[in-house]
């Protein structure tokens, strides 16, 4: 056994060395193969190879396919939670039953256009910011991947930094987010999402997973991704092709959204919603072309045999020619190329006569991001020539923006886009229109303004004043035309001449006034130059308008002979004003009175002092003239004792005088204010202001005048009692009650409501023959017994407080 020990050991060692050497060779070969597979081709070599900027190498495509199939956020990405308002918004969109999901494409294209506008504006002062080659092309590209159900939208705009991605797409909710959520809960209409600045999230109407790849000149390339599950992730992009600059959105479509992978559908949507975007929108579209390819050998031989059977002699020369020419055939082949979808010339550069109403409507919807079914009320397309040259298109929207009058004097809400020589400059340029016309949508393209200057220098440019002046004039002419074309605005004489073609415009000015009437009033307050022109646009109801709106011109045409003033009254609503005691004699004598029920009307009438040489007269103030009567002097003398006595008894009530009234018919008395002081309605408005100044209120309140009706039995009886015994306490109490009642009926707020109600109750006692000395019966005191339910509530409350205290510890 020992003699075999050494040979056996040597054999065993030899086998071990052999296997180890083969193992090392296998490992080396495996590593070499692995290196060949892992080492990817240089991505840089492919830049510019395909103009799409969306191509990837095979390994990248493989890794992306794995990521897509998992539909999960990358593990190495930085995770974030959506801001609460954004989460609410996305929940609404994802669970929406809204049928028109097409809006997602128009919103993404609109955002891409905004990004391109920004980079083009920056390039005016820094040409190097655009870069070279494909990066300098300002365009939008759309590409389909039917196999992976991915729709990609790419722009070469300004791009987003990492901070921008976090801020704009997740954590910080803009004011528009809350406003849109509230609007959605009321109307359920997603179609207005673009107007609130949150259009990006409409992508989740069709997607369950979205990637946003973005490169800003000042940062690295990053990927934002989310499944709309309350979280999103951001990571540095090291696997996609470098964008150079801009943003690419990869939309992983739901199964039911497969229609958006069809070229004809995308072409239809771009033509419908985005035809007037100012940058080319390119689709990577398929196209069938005829291609000559070598013919099949079998087919060629069969053709030769059939030709020989017909006639060898006749075809001998043809066969010789065929042998000389190569055997080919024509087949259909699918190729891909970029197809421009929006090659329409900018509307404002065209002759207005060549533009159809339908084109104006489509352009408005694109410009205003309003894709509802409603058309703009009116538009004005014009060119200005001379020292300052520009072209402009202005639109009157069908509805007022939700926040039109919120922070009116503090917020910048211009809706005009400014272009200089077809280059977009800004959509936040407030110097083009005054605030009261900020509801207008449109654009201005000027050849007179400089391009390569800062915004601050542009704001000071002398041409802006000329442009603004012409825009205001054209805007007011456009609004006046809305009224002129409305059959309801015509007088009885003109109504006979109104054609049936204008029936569709019936009531359009009433609708305009409902939406934007307050803006016209604010214009009268702010713009002294155009005050008279704006006054022609005013509309209101009157005592004779029968519920319809009336203009100042129509009012003047109905004025009584000899009437010098335009009568009006202010208050909270028409129903209250119709019953006002201030109108009694005016109605009786057939005078027409204007109803002003908007709080801004009080401010308006402080600036609109006259119109067409007619003064305005508030019928609740001093100075009302209805003609003199021969008995006025006699009445004044007859009630001299009463007016003098009553004035002295109201010394502490801020009453300046007691007079005989010419405006009352059935009411005993009213309280009017001095001509230049606040009316009762204005006092109420000012007292409701949060930061009102009591000192200023006392100064502006003005003196009050008690006007009495000399024909009313109460006043006549009071006069007789005052004459008999001016010191009678009951007479004084009655006079004070009458004054307080008149104060209340005239619209004033009582300083001491308790005193007024006490006097009313005393009057009720007298009418019920109850002694003035009668007192309220005292309540019998009993022991309070705690009910069983109250005891349980107290016990549960105590327990809850104790638990809270434990949690804090």
Determine the average pLDDT of the residues in 217-224: 92
The mean pLDDT value of the chain amounts to: 79
With beta carbons less than 8 A apart as the criterion, state whether 530 and 472 touch: yes
> Where does the pLDDT of residue 40 fall: very low under 50, low under 70, confident under 90, or very high at 90 and above?
very low
| Cα-Cα-Cα-Cα dihedral sign, residues 480, 481, 484, 486 | negative
Of the ranges 192-206, 401-415, 530-544, which one carries the lowest mean pLDDT score?
Answer: 192-206
Q: For residues 669 and 58, which has the higher predicted lDDT (pLDDT)?
A: 669
Of the ranges 48-52, 530-534, 657-661, which one carries the lowest mean pLDDT score?
Answer: 48-52
Separation CA 687–CA 683 (nearest Å): 6
Q: For residues 361 and 2, which has the higher predicted lDDT (pLDDT)?
A: 361
Q: Is the pLDDT of residue 93 over 70?
A: no
Q: What pLDDT is stored for residue 33 in this prediction?
A: 43
For the chain, give the percent of residues with pLDDT over 70.
74
CA distances, 317 to each of 306, 309, 314, 322 (Å): 15, 15, 7, 9
CA distances, 55 to each of 50, 243, 286, 574, 737 (Å): 7, 11, 16, 68, 89
Q: For residues 272 and 1, which has the higher predicted lDDT (pLDDT)?
A: 272
| Cα-Cα-Cα-Cα dihedral sign, residues 740, 741, 742, 747 | positive
Rg (CA), the chain: 42
- pLDDT tens readout for residues 729-770: 889 999 999 999 999 999 998 888 898 998 899 888 888 988
Torsion of CA 739, 740, 742, 744, to 10 degrees: 160
- pLDDT tens readout for residues 406-449: 777 766 667 788 888 777 777 777 788 899 998 999 999 888 88
- pLDDT tens readout for residues 714-726: 999 999 999 999 8
Tokens of 576: 């209250």
Q: Is the pLDDT of residue 545 over 80?
A: yes
Nearest CA among 660, 529, 508, 516 for reference residue 598: 516
Q: What pLDDT is stored for residue 547 in this prediction?
A: 87
Q: Is the pLDDT of residue 552 over 70?
A: yes
- pLDDT tens readout for residues 140-168: 999 999 899 999 999 999 999 998 888 88
Determine the average pLDDT of the residues in 129-150: 89
> Where does the pLDDT of residue 246 fall: very low under 50, low under 70, confident under 90, or very high at 90 and above?
very high
Determine the average pLDDT of the residues in 357-378: 85
Q: DSSP label at 346?
A: P
Q: For residues 803 and 607, which has the higher predicted lDDT (pLDDT)?
A: 607
Q: What pLDDT is stored for residue 34 in this prediction?
A: 40
> Where does the pLDDT of residue 3 fall: very low under 50, low under 70, confident under 90, or very high at 90 and above?
very low
Of the ranges 6-15, 702-711, 799-808, which one carries the lowest mean pLDDT score?
Answer: 6-15
Tokens of 533: 């022109």
With beta carbons less than 8 A apart as the criterion, state whether 378 and 426 touch: no
Determine the average pLDDT of the residues in 537-554: 93
Q: DSSP label at 137?
A: -
Greatest Cα pair distance, the chain, in angstroms, is: 163
The residues, ordered by sequence, that sit 6+ positions from 400 with a Cβ below 8 Å of its Cβ are: 439, 515, 516
Half-sphere exposure of 274 (CA within 13 A, CB side): 28
Q: What pLDDT is stored for residue 603 in this prediction?
A: 92
Tokens of 484: 């002129």
CA distances, 741 to each of 183, 575, 720, 735, 757 (Å): 44, 20, 21, 10, 10
Q: What pLDDT is stored for residue 41 in this prediction?
A: 37
Q: What pLDDT is stored for residue 49 in this prediction?
A: 35
CA distances, 126 to each of 69, 119, 120, 134, 425 (Å): 43, 10, 10, 18, 14
Strand partners, 795: none
């Amino acid at each position: 056994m020992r003699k075999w020990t050494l040979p056996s050991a040597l054999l065993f060692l030899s086998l071990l060395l052999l296997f180890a050497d083969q193992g090392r060779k296998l490992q080396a070969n495996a590593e070499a193969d692995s290196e060949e597979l892992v080492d990817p081709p240089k991505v840089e070599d492919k830049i510019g190879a395909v103009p799409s900027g969306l191509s990837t190498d095979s390994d990248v495509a493989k890794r992306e396919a794995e990521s897509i199939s998992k539909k999960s956020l990358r593990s190495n990405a930085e995770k974030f939670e959506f801001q609460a308002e954004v989460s609410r918004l996305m929940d609404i969109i994802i669970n929406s039953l809204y049928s028109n999901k097409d809006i997602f494409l128009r919103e993404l294209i609109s955002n891409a256009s905004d990004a391109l506008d920004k980079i083009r504006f920056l390039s005016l002062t820094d040409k190097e910011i655009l870069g070279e080659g494909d990066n300098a092309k300002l365009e939008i590209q759309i590409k389909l991947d039917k196999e992976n159900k991915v729709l990609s939208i790419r722009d070469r705009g300004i791009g987003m930094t990492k901070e921008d991605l976090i801020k704009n797409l997740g954590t910080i909710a803009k004011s528009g987010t809350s406003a849109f959520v509230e609007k959605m809960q009321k109307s359920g209409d997603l179609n207005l999402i673009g107007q609130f600045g949150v259009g990006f999230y409409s992508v989740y109407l069709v997607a369950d997973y979205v990637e946003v790849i973005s490169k800003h000149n000042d940062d690295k390339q990053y990927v934002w991704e989310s499944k709309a599950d309350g979280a999103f992730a951001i990571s540095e992009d090291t696997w996609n092709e470098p964008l150079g600059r801009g943003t690419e959105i990869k939309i992983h479509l739901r199964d039911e959204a497969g229609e958006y992978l069809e070229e004809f559908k995308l072409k239809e949507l771009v033509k419908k919603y985005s035809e007037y975007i100012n940058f080319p929108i390119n689709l990577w579209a398929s196209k069938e072309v005829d291609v000559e390819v070598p013919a099949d050998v079998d087919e060629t031989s069969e053709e030769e045999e059939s030709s020989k059977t017909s006639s060898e002699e006749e075809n001998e020369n043809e066969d010789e020619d065929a042998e000389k020419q190569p055997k080919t055939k024509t087949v259909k082949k699918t190729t891909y190329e970029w197809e421009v979808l929006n090659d329409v010339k900018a509307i404002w550069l065209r002759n207005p006569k060549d533009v159809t109403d339908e084109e104006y409507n489509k352009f408005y919807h694109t410009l205003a991001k309003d894709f509802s079914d409603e058309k703009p009320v009116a538009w004005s397309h014009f060119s200005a020539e001379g020292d300052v040259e520009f072209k402009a298109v202005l639109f009157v929207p069908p509805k007022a923006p939700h926040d039109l009058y919120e922070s009116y004097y503090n917020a910048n809400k211009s809706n005009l886009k400014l272009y200089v020589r077809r280059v977009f400059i800004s959509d936040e340029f407030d110097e083009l229109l005054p605030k009261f016309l900020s509801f207008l949508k449109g654009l201005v393209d000027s050849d007179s303004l400089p391009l390569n200057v800062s915004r601050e220098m542009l704001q000071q440019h002398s041409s802006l004043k000329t442009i603004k002046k012409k825009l205001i004039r054209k805007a007011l002419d456009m609004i006046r035309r809305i009224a002129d074309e409305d059959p309801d605005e015509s007088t009885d004489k003109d109504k006979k001449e109104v054609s049936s073609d204008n029936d569709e415009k019936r009531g359009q000015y009433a609708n305009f006034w409902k939406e934007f009437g307050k803006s016209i009033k604010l214009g009268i307050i702010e713009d002294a130059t155009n005050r008279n022109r704006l006054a022609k646009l005013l509309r209101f109801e009157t005592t004779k308008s029968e519920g319809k709106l009336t203009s100042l011109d129509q009012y003047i045409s109905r004025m009584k002979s000899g009437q010098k003033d335009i009568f009006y009254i202010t208050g909270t609503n028409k129903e209250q004003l119709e019953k006002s005691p201030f109108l009694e004699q005016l109605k009786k004598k057939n005078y027409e009175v204007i109803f002003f029920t908007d709080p801004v009307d009080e401010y308006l009438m402080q600036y609109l002092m006259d119109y067409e040489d007619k003064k305005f007269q508030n019928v609740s103030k001093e100075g009302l003239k209805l003609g003199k009567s021969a008995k006025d002097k006699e009445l004044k003398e007859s009630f001299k004792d009463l007016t003098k006595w009553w004035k002295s008894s109201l010394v502490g009530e801020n009453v300046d005088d007691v007079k005989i009234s010419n405006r009352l018919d059935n009411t005993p008395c009213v309280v009017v204010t001095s001509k230049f002081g606040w009316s009762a309605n204005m006092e109420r408005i000012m007292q409701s202001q949060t930061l009102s100044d009591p000192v200023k209120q006392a100064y502006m309140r003005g003196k009050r005048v008690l006007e009495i009706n000399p024909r009313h039995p109460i006043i006549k009886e009071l006069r007789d009692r005052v004459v008999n015994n001016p010191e009678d306490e009951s007479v004084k109490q009655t006079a004070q009650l009458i004054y307080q009642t008149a104060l209340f009926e005239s619209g004033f707020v009582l300083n001491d409501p308790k005193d007024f109600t006490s006097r009313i109750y005393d009057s009720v006692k007298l009418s019920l023959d109850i002694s003035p000395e009668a007192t309220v019966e005292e309540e019998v005191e009993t022991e309070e017994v705690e009910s069983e339910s109250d005891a349980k509530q107290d016990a549960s409350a105590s327990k809850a407080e104790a638990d809270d205290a434990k949690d804090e510890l």
